[in-house]
């Protein structure tokens, strides 16, 4: 996987973590920002054909 794809996937992961934290804190403003970031990161991934499905490592 290339550096660009790894960066996009990291951006998606970080946005998901931020969104979960905002939901846990019941922070509607932070959740809205995190949702926007996640949507943007997912759009970028789709545009470049990068799968954002969670991968489960074996072993």
Specify the pLDDT at position 31: 97
Tokens of 34: 């995190």
**pTM for the full predicted model:** 0.82
Specify the pLDDT at position 53: 82
Specify the pLDDT at position 54: 64
The per-residue pLDDT string of the chain (59 residues; one tens digit each, 9 = 90 and over) reads 689 999 999 999 999 999 999 999 999 999 999 999 999 999 999 999 999 986 544 44
Specify the pLDDT at position 1: 67
The residue with tokens 């991934």 is 45
Specify the pLDDT at position 42: 96
Element housing 45 (H / E) = helix 28-47
């Amino acid at each position: 996987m290339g550096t660009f794809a790894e960066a996009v996937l990291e951006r998606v992961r970080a946005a998901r973590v931020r969104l979960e934290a905002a939901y846990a804190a019941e922070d509607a403003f932070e959740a809205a920002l995190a949702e926007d970031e996640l949507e943007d990161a997912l759009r970028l991934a789709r545009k470049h054909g990068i799968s954002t499905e969670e991968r489960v490592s074996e072993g």
